[in-house]
């Protein structure tokens, strides 16, 4: 088996597709889990640009790759290339996990469950809470959906260039859950307007991700005690946003928590093992 890094004729291949992928900790996590469980699987990173996504998915079929994690920027764009979606991924409109059963590719979303598990494991119940979400990409779709489903009150902020993404997501959630979800431009003035009343702040953007570790999406002066700040960026483990939130007396949740939970859910889909 692969526990001593020996690749055999029966080794199953899994991996991650995204751009960039240099920062990813997924290979370390999944390969350690495969070794621990004595499974003949290996997990590798594939840097796939937007223009190469279709060829990458063809390659998954052609090479019989068992499973792929999908990260920035492909979580939404990959959907039309798959054969089917599980019900949650379909509702969310984003996929972060693909499973290949003899050429039948199924898209799933483990971001949603992974995010919720990370909160609940810290005894943070989002029901009824006012939550500010930064970003409107694939991860935000999953997180917004699971929070709205849980009964949280959401405001979604996104940069002007992709404000239409936030408006589309807010509209989708509002009609799905019959409660108003607002979309605003991600600027200090709007943060100033929504953060004082917020219980939880979630950063789903890549601002502050390695190598740009000195960036933050929120000015430190807007952070406060009593706020829960969840940054889904996991490299670095403690982003500038989380450091400044901690200094302001806020409770912080690192992206590593969500990363591990969503990875465990994907692992189970590919191997059938927990």
- Answer yes or no: do 124 and 95 share one domain: no
Number of folded domains that form the chain = 2
Q: Which pLDDT value is given to residue 1? A: 44
pLDDT-derived band at 2 (thresholds 50, 70, 90) equals very low
Residue 267 resides in a domain: no
Q: How far apart are CA 53 and CA 63, in angstroms?
A: 15
Q: How far apart are CA 244 and CA 187, in angstroms?
A: 18
Residue 122 resides in a domain: yes
Lowest-pLDDT range of 5-14, 131-140, 219-228: 5-14
Last residue of a domain, one of 108, 128, 152: 108
- Answer yes or no: do 83 and 180 share one domain: no
- Answer yes or no: do 173 and 91 share one domain: no
Q: Which pLDDT value is given to residue 178? A: 81
pLDDT exceeds 90 at position 77: yes
Residue 120 resides in a domain: yes
Residue 70 resides in a domain: yes
Per-residue model confidence as pLDDT tens digits over 176-221: 888 899 999 999 999 999 999 999 999 999 999 988 999 999 999 9
pLDDT exceeds 80 at position 75: yes
Q: Which pLDDT value is given to residue 6? A: 82
∠ CA 87-273-99, rounded to 5°: 40
List 50, 75, 84, 269, catalytic entry: 75
Q: How far apart are CA 174 and CA 154, in angstroms?
A: 10
pLDDT exceeds 50 at position 15: yes
Q: How far apart are CA 123 and CA 39, in angstroms?
A: 33
CATH assignment of the domain containing 97: 3.40.50.10860
Q: What is the mean pLDDT of residues 38-59?
A: 97
- Residue/partner pairs of 248-256 with CB below 8 Å, 24 or more apart: 248/220, 248/223, 248/224, 249/224, 249/225, 250/223, 250/224, 250/225, 250/226, 251/124, 251/227, 252/228, 253/118, 253/119, 253/122, 253/124, 253/228, 253/229, 255/230, 255/231
- Residue 84: beta bridge partners? 106
Catalytic site residue 182? no
- Answer yes or no: do 164 and 217 share one domain: yes
264 exposure class (CB count in 10 Å sphere: 0-12, 13-18, 19+): middle
- Please check whether residue 137 is in contact with residue 165, taking contact to mean a CB–CB distance below 8 angstroms: yes
pLDDT exceeds 90 at position 3: no
Q: Which pLDDT value is given to residue 192? A: 97
pLDDT exceeds 70 at position 5: no
- Answer yes or no: do 239 and 116 share one domain: yes
- Answer yes or no: do 138 and 180 share one domain: yes
Residue 75 resides in a domain: yes
Per-residue model confidence as pLDDT tens digits over 113-146: 999 999 999 999 999 999 999 999 989 999 999 9
pLDDT-derived band at 23 (thresholds 50, 70, 90) equals confident
CATH assignment of the domain containing 248: 3.40.50.720
pLDDT-derived band at 4 (thresholds 50, 70, 90) equals low
Residue 64 resides in a domain: yes
Model pTM? 0.87
- Answer yes or no: do 223 and 118 share one domain: yes
Give me the chain's average pLDDT, please: 95
Last residue of a domain, one of 50, 79, 108: 108
Q: Which two tokens stand for residue 236?
A: 């670095």
- The parent domain of residue 10 ranges over 2-108
Q: How far apart are CA 110 and CA 221, in angstroms?
A: 33
- CA distances 28 to 44, 61, 77, Å, are 9, 24, 26
Residue 268 resides in a domain: no
């Amino acid at each position: 088996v692969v526990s001593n890094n020996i690749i055999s004729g029966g080794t199953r291949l899994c991996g991650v597709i995204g751009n960039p992928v240099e920062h990813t900790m997924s290979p370390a996590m999944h390969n350690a889990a495969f070794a621990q469980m004595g499974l003949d699987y290996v997990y590798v990173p594939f840097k796939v640009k937007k223009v190469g996504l279709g060829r990458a998915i063809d390659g998954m079929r052609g090479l019989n790759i068992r499973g792929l994690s999908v990260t920035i920027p492909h979580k939404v764009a990959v959907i039309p290339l798959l054969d089917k979606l599980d019900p949650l991924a379909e509702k969310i409109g984003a996929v972060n996990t693909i499973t290949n059963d003899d050429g039948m590719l199924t898209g799933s979303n483990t971001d949603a469950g992974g995010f919720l598990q990370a909160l609940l494991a810290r005894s943070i119940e989002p029901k009824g809470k006012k939550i500010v979400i930064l970003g409107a990409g694939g991860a935000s779709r999953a997180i917004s959906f699971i929070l709205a489903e849980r009964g949280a009150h959401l405001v979604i902020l996104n940069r002007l260039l992709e404000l239409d993404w936030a408006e589309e997501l807010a509209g989708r959630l509002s009609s799905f859950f019959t409660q108003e979800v607002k979309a605003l431009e991600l600027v200090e003035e709007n943060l100033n307007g929504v953060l004082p009343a917020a219980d939880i702040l979630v950063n789903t953007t890549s601002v502050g991700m390695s190598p740009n570790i000195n960036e933050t999406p929120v000015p430190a002066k807007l952070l406060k005690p009593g706020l829960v700040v969840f940054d889904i960026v996991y490299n670095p483990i403690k982003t500038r946003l989380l450091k400044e939130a901690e200094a302001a007396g806020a409770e912080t949740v690192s992206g590593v928590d969500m990363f591990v939970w969503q990875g465990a859910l994907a692992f189970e889909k590919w191997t059938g093992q927990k």
